[in-house]
Amino acid sequence: MKYTTKGSPYRPDQLYKTGYVNENKEEQRTVPVDAYEDLRFLHLSWDDIQLLAEEVAERIKASGYSPDVVVAVSRGGFDHARILCDQLEVRRLASVQIEFYAGVNETNEVPRIVYPLNADVSGLKVLVVDDVSDTGESWRAAKEHVEGLGASQVRVATLHVKPWTTFKPDYHAAETDAWIVYPWEPIEFMTSTAARLEKDGLDPQEIRKKLVELGFDPRVVDRRP
What is the value of pTM for the model shown? 0.79
pLDDT for the residue numbered 7? 32
The single-letter DSSP state of residue 8 is S
Residue 103 pLDDT > 70: no
Predicted confidence (pLDDT) at residue 19 exceeds the cutoff of 60: no
Q: Where are the domains of the chain?
A: 56-173
Residue 16 has pLDDT above 70, yes or no: no
Q: What is the pLDDT of residues 166-183, one digit of tens each?
A: 999 999 999 999 989 999
| Mean predicted confidence (pLDDT) in 2-28 | 36
Q: For 196-217, write each residue's pLDDT tens digit.
A: 889 889 999 999 999 998 889 9
* Higher-pLDDT residue of 127, 137: 127
Question: Measured in Å, how far apart are the chain's first and last C-alpha atoms?
Answer: 36
AA letter at 197: L
What's the chain's average pLDDT? 83
* Whether the predicted pLDDT of 23 surpasses 50: no
Q: Which CATH class is domain 56-173?
A: alpha beta
Q: CB of 29 within 8 A of CB of 51? A: yes
- How many other C-beta atoms lie within 10 A of the C-beta of residue 205? 8
Instruction: Decide which of 32 and 63 is more confident.
Output: 63
Q: What is the pLDDT of residue 182?
A: 96
Distance set, CA 38 to CA 1, 6, 130, 137, 159 (Å): 23, 11, 25, 22, 23
**Predicted local distance difference test score (pLDDT) of residue 125:** 99
Band (pLDDT 50/70/90 cuts) for residue 105 is: low
| Span 37-77, pLDDT tens digits | 667 789 999 999 999 999 999 999 999 999 999 999 999 99
More confident residue, 101 or 182: 182
Residue 60 class from Cβ within 10 Å (0-12 exposed, 13-18 middle, 19+ buried)? buried
Write the single-letter amino acid at 64: G
Give pLDDT, residue 3: 47
Strands 171-175, 69-74: pairing is: unpaired
* The pLDDT of residue 160: 97
Task: Of 13-17, 73-77, 150-154, give the lowest mean pLDDT range.
Answer: 13-17
